[in-house]
Amino acid sequence: MPGLAFDEENKLSIHSHVNSKHSYEYEASQKTFIDESKLKQNLSILKSVEPYACKICNNVFTELSKLRLHLLIHEKPKTHYCEICNKALAGGGSLKAHLRIHNNEKPYKCVVCGKAFRVKCTLQSHLRTHTKEKPFTCEVCGKAFTVKGTLTVHLRSHTKEKPYICEICNKAFISSGSLKAHLRIHKNEKPYKCDVCGKAFRVNCTLQSHLRTHTKEKPFTCEICGKAFTVKGTLTVHLRSHTKEKPYTCEICNKTFISSGNLKIHLRTHTKEKPVLCEICGKSFASSQNLKTHLRIHTNEKPYVCDICGLALTQKQSLKSHLRVHTKEKPYICEFCGKAFIGKNGLKSHLRTHTKEKPYTCEVCEKSFKQNGHLRTHLRLHTKEKPYTCEVCGKVYSQKSYLNLHIRTHTGEKPYSCNICNKRFSQKSYLNYHYRLHKNEKFFSCDVCGKTFSQKGHLNQHFRTHTGEKPYTCDICHKEFSQKCHLNEHYRTHSSERPYSCDKCGKDFATKGSLNYHYGLHSSENFFSCDVCGKSFSKKCSLNTHFRTHTGEKPYSCELCKKDFAHKWHLKQHYRIHTNERPYSCDVCNKDFSHKFSLNEHYRMHTNEKPYSCDVCKKEFSRKSYLDQHYRTHGNKRSFS
């Protein structure tokens, strides 16, 4: 790993000083230095860092002289009282300075910017912000300050000293100002109010930063990329994006972060803490920013709009990632396989395919997922929640993507086109599967019989022919099916729904396959011919079924009585003898039948329809079997003229 680089020699010297092996030690603080001269130079500083505590009130001071002045407060009675707030003060000068708070008197004015102050020493410190003078330098890290008190507080960041303790929660702070601001959390006190929007704050500096959101002022600029910020702290954190510095480490998983705020939010992933609550739906979040983004779901607010295509988004980062769709930029590269992504989250999710990490676990069934979105979608299987509704037909879905695909059944949109045969598809996955037909690719093989398939879903469906599994059950008649599409088709026998209509003759069908087969009856083209008898068919499956009349092949066997059948449909009808299933019901007399043709023949009893006529005597019959019996009375004579 290359060493750190510095633009100034004194910064390198300071860095070497901090990181070198020291040999000269100051016993009182156990601090060490490179050489004896450095130890002598820093003795005064080190002595100033050592805290001096008041034994009466436990107040701590960095200088002995300040402790002595402080002790006078205890020794000398507070004889001067403020007539407004009754606060007691030790001297007349202190009372005079204090009264300026009530009178809002600021007699000391800056000649450069006109800002006024109550105390002269505060003005003197302020003037250094104009002169850029920083006379007080930290001997440990080289950082310079305009005020000695700020240096004193800063030195505690090296000594880890926190002398100011909150009496309520025992939290420790490096400065009295930080403790004072902290106490306002317990008191719920917010004394600093914005004159523009009325928002209140606990600390004056937070108010000053907030005011810049109204003035649009961004006085803190990054010297590397030129980006400007309203708050100096935000600039400090931003600079770490250039230096790659991540000084805050999680003690649980050792993950590092560029800011203490990010670490604090991250820790909640371990504690499962979600302290921020949505007042509309009650959902809880780990951070206020996550809540802010979530609220846009309720308000339907999408403040970030793409200048190129007009797409509106709820998050700024989402817009940033979306713009890369137009620029074709993919800055996030997988270090394992080299795959590129337009967004950081896309890369993060992809990396889990290499690490096999599944950090999101369902509390109901303990199934794990790579992405939080996949877990949220999965949870709807347990809750039966389907929040996405089709405005055309009212059908509901658990995922928005499912709804978008469904809408194409109404619009007829097929945006994905095959560049080989120009066939179009409504889904990209359908197009990918279709390409395999051209390439004759069959990646998925059955472990039982060796049959191969182009789609994993087809293999799963096929495998059920070996296991006999039928996971889909009709909630009306409790019939079970191996495929969901078969269940959906079966439901239409109960509802009499026939959604597929022939655009040539107007006949309706319950399944798309039946419609396609029917279209072949209209077409005079028969592409598939039998090599034995020359009979031609419009479909290859019809030819395959016909060919069994020549070979005598009966591949479909009943598991109960071992009877064999040439057609799957014949086996299906045969099973009803064993199950006594009668799915077809007469809507006139409610009599049930195992076969549809039996229902059709029965129905003619009610309509008195007789479609079968004798060629010899013209007598009519409702069933073909009755006609065949009748022909025997003529000596089985038929007229074929």
User: According to the model, what pLDDT value does residue 227 have?
Assistant: 92
Instruction: For residue 221, name the pLDDT band (cuts at 50, 70, 90).
Output: very high
pLDDT of residue 50: 45
Residues 124 and 147 sit within 8 Å (Cβ to Cβ): no
Query: With 60 as the cut, is the pLDDT of residue 640 above it?
Result: no
The pairing of strands 368-369 and 416-417 is: unpaired
CA–CA gap between residue 247 and residue 256 (Å, rounded): 7
- Strand 108-109 with 116-117, pairing: antiparallel
Whether the Cβ atoms of residue 66 and residue 54 lie closer than 8 Å to each other: no
For the chain, what is the mean pLDDT? Answer: 82
**Residues 365, 366, 372: CA angle, nearest 5 degrees:** 110
- Poorest-pLDDT segment among 17-26, 221-230, 252-261, 472-481: 17-26
Phi and psi at 88, nearest 5°, equal -95, 135
The pLDDT tens digits for 380-395 are 889 888 888 999 888 8
pLDDT tens, position by position, 16-62: 543 443 444 444 444 444 445 444 444 444 444 445 677 776 666 66
Kindly report, residue by residue over 235-248, the tens digit of the pLDDT. 999 999 999 899 89
Percent of the chain past pLDDT 90, that is, above it, reads 15
**Is the pLDDT score of 307 beyond 90?**
yes
Cβ count within 10 A of residue 461: 16
Let me know: does 327 contact 343? Beta carbons within 8 Å.
Answer: no
Higher pLDDT, 169 or 49: 169
Residue in 548, 522, 546, 551 with CA at minimum distance from that of residue 536: 546
DSSP count for the chain of H helices, then E strands: 23, 44
Q: What is the DSSP letter of 4?
A: P
What is the average pLDDT across 111-127?
Answer: 89
Per the model's pLDDT, the better-predicted residue between 119 and 31 turns out to be 119
pTM, to two decimals: 0.41
| Residue 235 pLDDT | 92
Reduced to 3 DSSP states, what percent helix, strand and coil does the chain have, rounded to the nearest 5?
45, 15, 45
> For 356-377, what is the mean pLDDT?
89
Distance, CA of 510 to CA of 533 (rounded, Å): 33
**Average pLDDT of span 483-497:** 79
- Is the pLDDT reported for residue 636 higher than 90? no
Instruction: Tell me the pLDDT tens digit for each residue of 269-294.
Output: 898 889 899 999 888 998 888 898 89
What pLDDT does residue 465 have? 79
In this model, does residue 376 exceed pLDDT 60? yes
Q: What is the pLDDT of residue 239?
A: 93
Give pLDDT tens digits for 590-621.
888 888 888 888 888 888 888 888 888 888 88
**627 and 617 in contact (C-beta within 8 Å)?**
no
Nearest to 261 by CA among 234, 241, 284: 234
Q: Which one-letter DSSP state was computed for residue 634?
A: G
pLDDT in tens, 179-217: 988 999 899 899 999 999 999 998 888 898 899 989 999
Q: pLDDT class for 531, splitting at 50, 70, 90?
A: confident
Note the pLDDT tens digit of each residue in 458-469.
888 888 878 878
- Give the three-class secondary structure for 318: helix
Per-residue model confidence (pLDDT) at position 7: 54
Higher-scoring residue by pLDDT: 103, 540: 103
* Mean pLDDT for the stretch of residues 548-561: 87
Tokens of residue 379, six digits = 């949870």
DSSP states of 497-562: ---EE-TTT--EESSHHHHHHHHHHH-----EE-TTT--EESSHHHHHHHHHHHH----EE-TTT-
SS3 378: helix
Element (H, E) at 464: helix 456-467
Rounded distance between C-alpha atoms, residue 171 and residue 453, angstroms: 65
Confidence at residue 250, expressed as pLDDT on a 0 to 100 scale = 92
Summarize the confidence of residues 478-487 as an average pLDDT: 82
